Amino acid sequence: MTRLIDGKKISASEVEQLAVDTRQFIAESSVTPGLAVVLVGDDPASQVYVRNKVKQATAAGFNSTEHRLPEETGQAQLNALVEQLNSDPSVHGILVQLPLPAQLSEPEIIRLIAPEKDVDGFHPQNVGALAAGNAELIPCTPMGCMIMLRQTLGDLSGKHAVVVGRSNIVGKPMAALLLQANCTVTIVHSRSQDIEAICRQADILVAAVGRPEMIRGSWVKPGATVIDVGINAVESGGRRRLVGDVAFNEVSEVAGAITPVPGGVGPMTIACLMKNTLTAARQQIS
């Protein structure tokens, strides 16, 4: 019997602790952590994510502001908003929702966000700190995956972790965190050969490719822990539903533990964004 890793439940207890820590922080510092979320354009999935982030931030006791810019926004206009948020002392965390419309440069905007306010952990300074093993602001999705892995497995030392996908948002930082936790880490990607055979060696399998149900039951070692980062909308029987990068029904027959979609990684990501916002506020007042 596979064990379901309940991201909703784990994130609820993380958020509960965070609310306690936030109240204490506010009482001691008289500063309320502030999170600014920037959304450019009207991508429906991004709108849902941003709404959830703002709602959770408010529930955690933060000041939270949403900044919406039109689809046709130019780089100078977006840069001006980020610079304004950089110099606003009531804002401790800045998140620019990705992807951005094609006319805007993501690397440029990521570099422009003040590193101490970069609650996504995407700024080159924070990426470097993560690679060196001393990061304060860690990308939210990989951080959430690590919390779930530690709760499920305890010590991760010596385990073979296979990360499927090499994005800057998930795959690369995930590999860095697993390495820091003393795993043997393999990254596979679209140009890798015999991905299936490599996945079958994994004690920990993290799927972050954005391809619906790509990981099949036959790719998974019996008893492995499977973390499914994918959130893919698919049509089936005229109905739209969300599926992960893992074929859940097949893989749950083989895996020792698995995250569902939805209700797995998704809620953990938001909880970790709140943790990063409090961390950023702490650092900025000290």
Annotated binding site, which residues? Answer: 165-167, 231
Q: What's the min distance (Å) between Cβ of 95 and ligand GUN?
A: 5
Active site includes 53? yes
Whichever of 145 and 156 has its CB closer to ligand GUN, that residue is 145
Among residues 56, 118, 120, 203, the one annotated as catalytic is 120
d(CA 51, CA 28): 29
The footprint of ligand GUN (CB under 6 A) covers: 95-98, 120, 140-141, 169
Give me the DSSP letters along 115-163: GGGBTT--SHHHHHHHHHT--SS--HHHHHHHHHHHHHHS--TT-EEEE
Whichever of 11 and 141 has its CB closer to ligand GUN, that residue is 141
Q: Which residue is nearest to ligand GUN (CB)?
A: 98
d(CA 165, CA 252): 21
The number of residues in the chain equals: 286
Q: What's the min distance (Å) between Cβ of 73 and ligand GUN?
A: 16
Binding residues for NADP(+), by number, are 165-167, 231
Of 184, 197, 247, 257, the residue nearest 226 (C-alpha): 257
Residue entry with tokens 């995930």: 174
Active site includes 120? yes
Active site includes 203? no
Among residues 56, 97, 180, 228, the one annotated as catalytic is 97
Q: What's the min distance (Å) between Cβ of 27 and ligand GUN?
A: 30
**What's phi and psi for 122, nearest 5 deg?**
-100, -15
Q: What's the min distance (Å) between Cβ of 265 and ligand GUN?
A: 11
The residues assigned a catalytic role are 53, 97, 120
